[in-house]
Structure 1
């Protein structure tokens, strides 16, 4: 499971035309493949997320990209971080991730979550429903998908989905790990304990111990061995050979998103920069070492500010592979 994953969350790069876009994505994946990362992940969204830019920025469909990246990598697992359950029927998703496993030579991983980006749902015609209903749908999906990935023929006459002896042929080449993303202590972590191999936490660093305690409680209730579950933490980084170069990379990215740090007060500038861990390899290593000491097993790390610059992903992998070793 994921000890060190590289996430590609954005597809808008300076001076990059649409026809050249995938070349930049593939280069990042190749650098990850050879620098210590064990997984490459892309977001399952159709609009860009608010924290990274306006919705009209470029966004490629996740599983098309992952299947293409299978031909440009050789060792990393390939996954969405995470699949929005509301976007795909569960039997179709089981077939999709199985196909990814076949075309990648057994390197598929299923990342999945309940779905949350309401604007995207409303604009594109995906039913959003309530928070509770989305989690009901997710659990029914997991019941279908886990059976299909195991080579069973699951049937379900549920509230949201109905399948009858669903066949999945060809079967996956091996066990496809299931990662559930999020940090909800009552619903998300209970689903992790019941269905998943990995929890990908989204929370503040100080909340990590409480999340781990909640997961352990669900495992105890369900009779699951907590040690069977890997816990990774979702984060960001902007790394460069020197601190000043990392700051320059970050400021350039912020400027492209309409944030002119040069016009800010010193306090405002540092607060904005502080949203993204940035610096030299020593600084980034220290930041992620502190996170490891909070009890997690690894990370999924995005580098939206400068991952597109040749060599930055390689440097990040070389740095963080020492942290998780």
Structure 2
């Protein structure tokens, strides 16, 4: 289960050429593997997301990358956060995740969601459909994928997908957990209660308690034991050995995004600095300790280190800071 996951969502680093790119990504994964993270995750997108960078920035295909990271790590589970269901046939996705499990020695996890980034669907010629379409597809996919990941045959004559006595050999080495990402109350969290082992919440910290209550309500309605489901919260973090270094890493990130932070007042900068949890180890540790104390039923976090994860030692420092809180 995911108590402390590192998501690597960005592949555009200052001064790093394409030929050097994987080395920087692999170093982050190795630092996570050795410092207390239990999972390494990458996004399943084809264009960079607008809240992180420009669509033309680097984006690596997630399952090829995860398979490569399997050879760079020894302990962490490996997953997308999360697979866009619209991109792949569900039976083929089950085969892909099973292969990741085999090449990683039993460390695969399936993170999955309905898909939402319309721009890349249109650009790649992938049907986007309506909100309802995408969630209907996700539910049918879960019905197909679940048996295949358990080593069973799978059949479904659905509205969107049809499989006939599909087999998956070899079966995964062990149990492959299914994580559903998102925090929609009517559809997403209900599907977590019905089909998943893990939930990854994407919401404001102020909404965590309510989302946990909604999930518990769905579990009660379905007869599911809520304690069987691990819940993590996605967070954006910038850690450095000192407060001033962390602030410097934040400002450098904003400057790379086209801002001129040297000309901005503290009041002007405050809304941007508030978008990410940043600071030295004591500040970061206190923030996460407070969140855990405030929310019974929150098991852990998936963390993006967008501003400075590429800097050697930053991921390691974060793992050393947070892993003891989640032990």
TM-score by length of 1: 0.99
Deviates more, 1:284-293 or 1:258-267: 258-267
Which residue does 2:310 correspond to in 1?
A: 308
**Residues of 2 paired with 1:135 and 1:204: CA distance?**
23
Matched residue, 1:322: 324
Take 2:239 and 2:324, find their aligned partners in 1: how far apart are those partners? 15
Q: Residue by residue, what CA displacement relative to the aligned partner does 1:253-298 show, whole Å, maximum 9, x if unpaired?
A: 1110112222223212011111111110001111111221223100
Separation of aligned partners in 2, 1:312 and 1:238: 8
SS for the counterpart of 2:271 is: helix
Q: 1:58 — aligned with what?
A: 58
What is the DSSP-based 3-state SS (H/G/I as helix, E as strand, rest coil) of the residue aligned with 1:309? coil
Q: How does 1:174-185 map to 2 (within 5 A)?
A: 174-185=174-185
Taking the aligned partners of 1:186 and 1:56, their CA distance within structure 2 comes to 34
TM-score, length-scaled by structure 2:
0.98
Q: Deviations over 1:83-138 (max 9, x none)?
A: 00001110010000000000000000000000011111111111111111100000
Gaps of 5+ in 2: none
**1:200 and 1:8 mapped to 2: Cα distance?**
15
Cα distance in 1 for partners of 2:116, 2:261 equals 30
1:156 paired to 2:156: yes
Where does residue 121 of structure 2 map in the other structure? 121
Question: 2: CA distance between counterparts of 1:286 and 1:57?
Answer: 34
Moved over 6 A (4+): none
Distance in 1 between residues matched to 2:5 and 2:266, nearest whole Å = 33
SS at match of 1:92: helix
Q: CA deviation at 1:156?
A: 0.6
Corresponding residue number in structure 2 for 1:196? 196
May I ask how many residue pairs the two structures share in their alignment?
325
| Residue matched to 2:99 | 99
Alignment correspondent of 2:187: 187
Q: CA deviation at 1:151?
A: 1.1
The Cα RMSD (Å) is: 0.7
CA distance in 1, matches of 2:94, 2:259: 41
Per-residue CA distance 1:39-77 (angstroms, 9 max, x = gap)? 000000010000111100000000000000000000000
Deviations 1:206-253 (A, max 9, x none): 101110010001001100000000000000110000000001111111
* Residues in 2 aligned to 1:268 and 1:152: alpha-carbon distance in whole angstroms: 57
Post-superposition shift, 1:34?
A: 0.4
Q: Report what 1:34 is aligned to.
A: 34
Corresponding residue for 2:278? Answer: 278
